[in-house]
Amino acid sequence: MTTPRTVPGGIWLITPPSDGRLEAVLLAEPDVALLDLEDSVPPHGKDTARTAAMAHLGAAPVHGVTVLGLRVNAPGTVHGLKDLVAVADAGLRDVVVLVPKVESARELELVAQVLQETATGVRVCALIETPRALLRLDRIFASPVLGGVVFGAADYAAATGCRRTSSALWWARSSIAAAAAAHNIPSIDSPYFDLGNPEGLRRDALEAREMGFTGKGAVHPDQLPDIRAAFCPTEEEVAQAQAIVSAADRSGGQMVRAGGQLVGPPLLAAARSVLDQAGVLTELSVHGGSE
């Protein structure tokens, strides 16, 4: 862990380490499959869950592009320390370790220090879910061991007394997304917890993308299609981006006219990002653009 590695963006699907859960999660093909040892496990079940999680992660089936991960308990607790020792003893490789209740860079560096000798390639990720953490984002995100951040809306709302609505969480979400972009690390938005409200999920996921998050958490495989759709550029967005990039390629200048608007370098960079997300930028480059 001498060189920090960023975590994947996209969809993070979290599940308790119960028998059969990891296999079901992997079938849904999220970008990260995260076993949870914190909120979904009661205190009396922590030791059993930890043992099960280590066994599942160590014997996981072939999982393609999905990265495996583990949300540990807070490092300042007994179970959090036990979790880190278990990860180190298991010698797990190339997994994400999500650290909850992070309020300082020092916490992340202590986690990395515990894991650095045996847990090769582990990526440390911070769960931001307290008001104190929101006031320290720049210092936390500057940590040299940090590979990415996740927003925890439920704990943040409980700590502040606010509701889990779009307007109540707007400042926290936008602050996290902007700070992560400033430090060039991925940012994952909180899951949407109302499983019976797919329209609310779609709206929430679109807001996350509009704010600049690079991915979103999920608590059930059925949520993945809506989240994927929200983070994929629409046909209209792709068409507009193609027009901008093609006009820029033809003119060779810094400022171009496309679709009735004057486009400078920032909008051109945004258009190229849209095409990259849609997987069509290479095709445009090869064929020289389109009208």
pLDDT of residue 277: 66
Domain boundary among 231, 253, 272: 231
Percent of the chain scored above 70 by pLDDT?
78
Last residue of a domain, one of 231, 250, 268: 231
Q: Are residues 174 and 31 in the same domain?
A: yes
For residue 281, is pLDDT > 90? no
Annotated binding site: 71, 129, 155
pLDDT given at position 18:
84
Look at residue 81 and tell me if it is in a domain.
yes
Task: Work out the pLDDT band at 59, boundaries 50, 70, 90.
Answer: confident
Residue 4 lies in a domain: no
More confident site: 256 or 190: 190
pLDDT for position 256 = 64
Structural domain span for residue 181? 10-231
pTM, full prediction: 0.83
Of 231, 248, 272, which residue is a domain's last? 231
Q: How confident is the model at residue 286, as a pLDDT?
A: 37
Contact 32, 65 (CB under 8 A): no
Distance CA 36, CA 202 (A): 24
More confident residue, 244 or 255: 244
3 Cβ contact list (under 8 Å, min separation 6): none
Write down the mean pLDDT value for the chain: 85
Q: Are residues 183 and 245 in the same domain?
A: no
Do 138 and 40 belong to one domain?
yes
| 31 and 154 fall within a common domain | yes
Q: Are residues 32 and 136 in the same domain?
A: yes
Q: How many CB atoms lie within 10 A of CB 6?
A: 14
Q: Are 102 and 111 spatial neighbours (Cβ–Cβ below 8 Å)?
A: no
Domain count, the chain: 2
What are 126's strand-pairing partners?
A: 99, 149
Tell me the CATH number at 67. 3.20.20.60
pLDDT of residue 180: 97
Q: Residues 123-156: pLDDT tens digits?
A: 999 999 999 999 999 999 999 999 999 999 999 9
Position 278 scores a pLDDT of: 64
CB 140 within 8 A of CB 177: no
Question: Do 246 and 224 share a structural domain?
Answer: no
Decide if 3 is inside a domain: no
- Binding-site residues for substrate, in ranges, read 71, 129
d(CA 119, CA 83): 13
Q: Is residue 279 part of a domain?
A: yes
Residues 81 and 48 in one domain: yes
Quick one: what percent of the chain has pLDDT higher than 90? Answer: 62
Annotated binding site for Mg(2+): which residue ranges? 129, 155
Domain identity same for 180 and 269 = no
Domain co-membership, 278 together with 214: no
Span 13-53, pLDDT tens digits: 999 998 778 888 888 999 999 999 999 999 999 999 999 99
Q: What mean pLDDT do residues 173-185 have? A: 97
Residue 196 domain flag: yes
